[in-house]
Structure 1
């Protein structure tokens, strides 16, 4: 009995993960209608596990279920980004504050090493490498803060941010600005100055939002950007 119940749950979770990655890569772009029949045929499954998977994605804010109209990939607005980044600045600020107080010498050594990756990627103008190191730095702070509820909420919000059509590191000068902000944050962490680390992290997150806003304005005005768009990876 138990085994028969586990299989369908595993199936819809697997389907949810596959759709999640297609949404993040914009293979399923924001605003796209989700063709349930076509997807069910593509994956060789019935529509029941597919609909369960869509409910999971709806709970994460990645798709929107509209009565009598079906399911659509969520479109995130500028207002949504303003609100999400506002909350993120508070949450990540708290992570930085807690990390400054709780970090062991080993934790600080790990953060130095990650920052060295940031410096190396910036020097090579490697945006993808910088993005990965940046994510690693923020994720490490969340682990050091050791608050599983805080981590859970941040992860959910980052899923929503990934729906953005732009990558803030493509805003002119943002990579250099972000690197300088990371230097300051690391300095506060090494000094175990929790209050300053929190303030700097909040500023860092707000700067990431401002960069996305500049890209949106430039796009609306059909102005040239510093570089072409890439898949949604919102750098904070």
Structure 2
């Protein structure tokens, strides 16, 4: 393969990653029309790699391509969240069950270390730190379960969840509730109670969805 064929591929991948970050930070908010020309001018590129990048994001569900109307950042509805979290609960529950069965003593030590970060962040009321440790904990479970198809499915769904305008940890009492749920999950994993780990993880994911629902209702009342 020649260098001239590699360069365009690398370019549109870089553009796709930049656009992901704009979308996840809500600088490109859900429902926003994507001004291709303005972005191309801003990045100093032609519209061809930009359009290739948008096709990648469309395949991930982050943008929606509408014939004769252009490209829009995907809007995620309450129904979308209900359906996505239902699938996430199944997948992450399976992941926790498999982890309880396969985890080595070293794996469990690693999970305990990550959980210590959750405890520290919660004590400091550090929502961003808690979120990062939470993500690390769930990712560690996926790596221990070692099912690449399961991991890919979870990653794809989590990308779409990021389109939500709200974050469940901002709900009153949710951080403390989430920490308590993590303690129970870790205890089940440590004791290698696979069925309990699955049940508790499903409940944890569903609890996160319920928290998002409460935030949405509260904001609708204010509006």
> How large is the RMSD of aligned CA atoms in angstroms?
0.8
Instruction: Return the alpha-carbon distance in structure 2 between the equivalents of residues 131 and 216 of structure 1.
Output: 19
Aligned to 2:96: 96
Aligned to 2:202: 202
Aligned to 1:21: 21
Q: In the TM superposition, what whole-angstrom CA distance separates every residue of 1:70-102 from its partner, at most 9, and x where no partner exists?
A: 000001000000000000000000010000000
CA shift, 1:5, in A, is 1.1
Instruction: Return the alpha-carbon distance in structure 1 between the equivalents of residues 7 and 117 of structure 2.
Output: 41
Unaligned 5+ segments in structure 2 are none
Aligned to 2:8: 8
Unaligned 5+ segments in structure 1 are 224-236
CA shift, 1:194, in A, is 0.6
Instruction: Return the alpha-carbon distance in structure 2 between the equivalents of residues 92 and 2 of structure 1.
Output: 42
Q: In the TM superposition, what whole-angstrom CA distance separates every residue of 1:180-201 from its partner, at most 9, and x where no partner exists?
A: 0000000000000110000000
Alignment of 1:1-236 (within 5 A): 2-222=2-222
Q: SS in structure 2 opposite 1:23?
A: helix
Q: In the TM superposition, what whole-angstrom CA distance separates every residue of 1:92-121 from its partner, at most 9, and x where no partner exists?
A: 000100000000000000001111111111
Instruction: Return the alpha-carbon distance in structure 1 between the equivalents of residues 93 and 2 of structure 2.
Output: 43
CA shift, 1:2, in A, is 2.5
CA shift, 1:3, in A, is 1.9
Q: Which runs of 4+ in 1 moved over 2 A?
A: none
Q: SS in structure 2 opposite 1:33?
A: coil
How many aligned residue pairs are there? 223
CA shift, 1:4, in A, is 1.6
Structure 1 length as normaliser, TM-score? 0.93
CA shift, 1:135, in A, is 0.4
Higher helix share: 2
Structure 2 length as normaliser, TM-score? 0.99
CA shift, 1:13, in A, is 0.4
Instruction: Return the alpha-carbon distance in structure 2 between the equivalents of residues 171 and 94 of structure 1.
Output: 27
Q: In the TM superposition, what whole-angstrom CA distance separates every residue of 1:22-70 from its partner, at most 9, and x where no partner exists?
A: 0000111111100001011111111111000000000000000000000
